[in-house]
């Protein structure tokens, strides 16, 4: 069963090309070297994107170049072990490797670039909902929650997709439903009502599993399937507008308020120091 589930979950496409100058190479805890790219808009908010099971960096680069400019956010994307130009380690994608991959990307943001977790928004599409929920839960349990979580066409768990189960069994993979209950960040769920790969009820139940105080208004895309949400909404721009609204209401406003609060603290400290000198 494990091999069958893995073949369902992971379908790496032929590697697509990104010019080497755009690559960041990350070392994972499982011994892989994976490529990533970082789009720096000098913004206060950074999106960490985890892609679907049949795409790699070259297929999403142009989209995120445009999206980062429209949303005025920094963006980091990475490939999973066994995808794109990744090398080393086991060489094959797996749940364990995917979690190590996203941790390498997240640690690059927080440790190398010194980006605070509260300004990072995790964004996972389809399979990418797994690593995104993993980091969202882990950051919450370590009392340093990320700024937000966007889940597009997410799965409750692998077995629930493959066998239509409504509960978690031993050996299940990417059991997001068991992680979202611990998330302490605003969560925005997007799902097509006619999704033929990950049924619509996955998005609904995942939304309902999130604590009430962390639920952003979901976006149920009428008539959309699993892979065409962006194209269905391209003419109206509604998809990007909803993401922008989520960021403005739940992330950017809070980030700017925290920044202003820190500035006031510094000013207050300076004034107190000057008063002591007098």
Q: How far apart are CA 134 and CA 10, in angstroms?
A: 17
Give Cα 18 distance to the centre of its chain. 21
153 catalytic per annotation: no
Q: How far apart are CA 51 and CA 57, in angstroms?
A: 8
Nearest CA to 108 out of 147, 77, 71 is that of 77
Q: How far apart are CA 263 and CA 271, in angstroms?
A: 12
Q: Which of 50, 86, 126, 153 is catalytic?
A: 126
- Positive or negative CA dihedral for 170, 172, 174, 179? negative
Q: Encoding tokens for residue 116?
A: 């605070």
Q: Which of 195, 202, 242, 250 is catalytic?
A: 195
What stretches of 118-228 show up as alpha helix (H) in DSSP?
129-141, 158-163, 200-209
Q: Which residues pair with 78 in a beta bridge?
A: 36
226 catalytic per annotation: yes
By DSSP bridging, strand 32-39 and strand 24-27 are antiparallel
Q: How far apart are CA 149 and CA 138, in angstroms?
A: 13
CB 187 within 8 A of CB 217: no
51 catalytic per annotation: no
CB 154 within 8 A of CB 205: no
Which residues form the catalytic set? 126, 195, 226
């Amino acid at each position: 069963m494990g091999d069958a589930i893995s073949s369902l979950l992971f379908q790496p496409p032929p590697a697509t090309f990104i010019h080497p100058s755009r690559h960041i190479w990350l070392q994972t805890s499982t011994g892989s070297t994976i490529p990533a790219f970082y789009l720096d808009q000098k913004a206060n908010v950074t999106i960490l994107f985890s892609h679907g099971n049949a795409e790699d960096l070259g297929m999403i680069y142009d989209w995120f170049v445009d999206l980062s400019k429209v949303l005025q956010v920094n963006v980091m994307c990475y490939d999973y072990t066994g995808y794109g130009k990744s090398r080393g380690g086991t060489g094959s994608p797996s749940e364990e490797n995917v979690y190590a991959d996203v941790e390498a990307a997240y640690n690059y943001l927080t440790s190398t670039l010194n980006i605070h977790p509260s300004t990072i928004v995790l964004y996972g599409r389809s399979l990418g909902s797994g690593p995104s929920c993993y980091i969202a839960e882990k950051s919450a349990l370590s009392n340093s929650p990320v700024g937000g979580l966007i889940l597009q066409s997410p799965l409750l768990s692998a077995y629930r997709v493959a066998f239509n189960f409504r509960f978690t069994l031993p050996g299940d993979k990417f059991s997001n439903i068991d992680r979202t209950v611990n998330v302490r960040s605003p969560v925005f769920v997007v799902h097509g009502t006619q999704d033929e790969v990950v049924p619509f009820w996955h998005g609904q139940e995942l939304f309902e599993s999130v604590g009430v105080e962390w639920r952003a208004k979901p976006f149920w895309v009428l008539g959309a399937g699993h892979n065409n949400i962006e194209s269905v909404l391209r003419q109206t721009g509604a998809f990007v507008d909803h993401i922008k609204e989520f960021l403005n209401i739940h992330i950017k406003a809070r980030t700017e308020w925290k920044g202003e609060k820190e500035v006031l603290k510094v000013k207050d400290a300076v004034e107190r120091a000057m008063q002591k000198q007098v």
